Structure 1
């Protein structure tokens, strides 16, 4: 509870006593590139293969002749939109971006750069952390959208190239009984996950004490705590919104 209270105070400091908005414009763009654009390649590879594996595993387990093969496309679509794209990508996002945020802020802390900002009267939490959190909340839903598209495309390629079903059957499967709210649900989850990963990682890095060893420990703790928070938030959002 003490750590949670300290985390809430950290968030309050991030949102209060901010610098003028013009100060954040360049910082926000730099963070969007560092957090979002630099993660596209990794997200693209992982999501494509996840979609392909899902299609192959679904086809392997369809042993009943009473189940139409187009259901492969439906299962890939629903699993991708509801869980694989937002949640699995968030775990990868926490490992790449979360550790980077925690390591960067931790290094700034042990080299006394954060102390120098605070001596100059700058709210270091708002100046350093707010652009990262906002950039993550802007770019991560875009990454999730790309991941969903590529996962469904990967399922299409795997299913058709392996002769598990025809292209027409797969397209029919991903179009039948489509619920538009699932896309909204995916985007809501992605915004929440992005906030959790960026804020928790920044919190762990900001309060690092010690030397280089403690920076590595902070990065590890940031990823671990972010993954736990993602899974917990995933369960709570499913209970509230489904």
Structure 2
């Protein structure tokens, strides 16, 4: 008696449809939203990594001190030199210290500091966390029972949020000194007279807006760099993309935040 061997019917699996750009964009927004919420959930819950926060503040602040000092001085010097011919046409070179202080304290100091930090600190955070991700160091920390997110992400974001305002304030004063060098060389203005003219037009709103900008910029640099590095993939190529994405995205967001904060503060003037 012949026996027939029945072969199971094989169904071909349908290949998943490629996600569109719009779908990928909204998925990325959702992931970023979860990442930020996770930061606020874990950053202010004990145990706190004070030693790591202090170390990261050192990495962000002290390691950027020389570059910030040189850039701030050059910005004040060049801005004063470029503004003199325009004011000289109207015989208003005496207004130069006031113009320098308003431009630097309201816009240039926080913005220049944030852009430098985005290039130096943001790329460093993205590359460091990205290399830890692709070498599975973060996975090993999760398996061992530690909290890598709190130790790696929260400390870096808090460090940039705390340190960037200090660097921005320092940059502002260094830029004002750079302006003084140019003004004293051309007009012979004394230091006390120059400083009095610098601080006369500034108001409490100017200092407050500059501080808020610096805090927002610092948080943006830290959270963008940490997100790019913490979620990097594809080996060494992913590390490079994480560092590059941290810089480009942070700079783009800094300009957007600058526009929004300037618009909001203008309502209170």
What TM-score range do you get, normalising by the shorter chain? over 0.9
Structure 1 counterpart of 2:98: 74
Matches within 5 A, 1:188-199: 188-199=212-223
Does structure 1 residue 166 correspond to structure 2 residue 161?
A: no
Deviation of 1:174 after TM superposition, in Å, equals: 1.0
Q: How many Å separate the matches in 1 of 2:75 and 2:239?
A: 32
The equivalent position to 2:89 in structure 1, one of 60, 64, 69, is: 64
Contact 2:161 2:219 in 1 (8 A): yes
Structure 2 counterpart of 1:86: 110
The equivalent position to 1:30 in structure 2, one of 34, 55, 59, is: 55
Instruction: Name whichever of 146-155 and 169-178 sits farther off.
Output: 169-178
Q: How many Å separate the matches in 1 of 2:121 and 2:38?
A: 22
Q: 1:169 to 1:17 in 2, by over 3 A?
A: closer
Once the two structures are superposed, what CA deviation does each residue of 1:40-90 show, in whole Å capped at 9, x if it has no partner?
A: 1111100000000011111122233442x2211011101100111001110
Structure 2 counterpart of 1:40: 65
Q: 1:236 to 1:20 in 2, by over 3 A?
A: closer
Contact 2:102 2:201 in 1 (8 A): no
Q: TM-score, normalised by structure 2?
A: 0.84
Does structure 1 residue 55 correspond to structure 2 residue 104?
A: no
Structure 2 counterpart of 1:11: 36
Does structure 1 residue 104 correspond to structure 2 residue 128?
A: yes
Contact 2:126 2:225 in 1 (8 A): yes
Matches within 5 A, 1:108-187: 108-161=132-185, 163-164=186-187, 166-167=189-190, 170-187=194-211
Instruction: Name whichever of 141-150 and 171-180 sits farther off.
Output: 171-180
Q: How many Å separate the matches in 2 of 1:178 and 1:36?
A: 26
Aligned length: 240
- Higher RCO structure (Cα 8 Å, ≥6 apart): 1
Deviation of 1:12 after TM superposition, in Å, equals: 1.8
Deviation of 1:20 after TM superposition, in Å, equals: 6.6
Pair member with larger Rg: 2
Deviation of 1:23 after TM superposition, in Å, equals: 4.6
For structure 1, the 5+ residue unaligned runs are none
Q: TM-score, normalised by structure 1?
A: 0.93
Instruction: Name whichever of 107-116 and 23-32 sits farther off.
Output: 23-32
